[in-house]
Homo-oligomer: A and B are copies of this chain.
Amino acid sequence: MQYFEDMPLGMRVESTETYTFTAEEIKAYASKWDPMPFHIDEALAAQTPLGKLFACSTHVISAGVKLAHTIMDKEVAAVAGLGWNDVRFPRPVLVGDTLKVVTEVVDRRESRSKPDRGIVTTQCSLINQEGDLMAEYKIATLVLKRPR
């Protein structure tokens, strides 16, 4: 189990696994959750300035969460997810893009009210095959301290 003490400021982990956005995955996800024409219609997407299908935001974030699972060697002693901040999409994720995730502990503090836990903020960066930053977000998590 990974406790608050095991997550120092600056700890950085990079996934070895990746996720590729195929046309089938982009269309299947967006058809159900975010049915905008440029996410589901390849002929129409070909006429936009991007010239290709691109993935909807929630598909990109879901892929980030999926990849984050592949880099946890131990389960985090998480009590609750406190929320996400600064979710940004600097570039559209196009069909064929292959993403990895890089996570970094950017803030951590002890809980003011409960001495057995702390709050860890992790910056997650989704990077494509060219090394470009495609999406990023911060996740704050309430994590137990190591039991004494």
Contacts and interface: CB of A to CB of B under 8 A. Distances in A.
Interface of A: 32-35, 56-58, 61-63, 65-66, 69, 81-89, 137
A57 B64 CA distance: 12
A33 B66 contact: yes
24 contacts: A32-B66, A33-B63, A34-B62, A34-B65, A34-B66, A56-B65, A57-B65, A57-B81, A58-B58, A58-B62, A58-B65, A61-B61, A62-B62, A81-B89, A83-B86, A83-B87, A83-B88, A83-B89, A84-B84, A84-B137, A85-B85, A85-B86, A85-B87, A87-B87
A89 B139 CA distance: 12
A44 to B, nearest CB: 13
Contacts of A35: 69
Number of copies: 2
A35 B63 CA distance: 12
Nearest to A85: B85
A117 to B, nearest CB: 15
A76 to B, nearest CB: 10
A72 to B, nearest CB: 10
A83 B86 CA distance: 7
A34 B32 CA distance: 17
Nearest to A135: B83
Given A33-B62, A56-B65, 5 more contacts: A33-B63, A34-B69, A58-B58, A83-B87, A85-B85
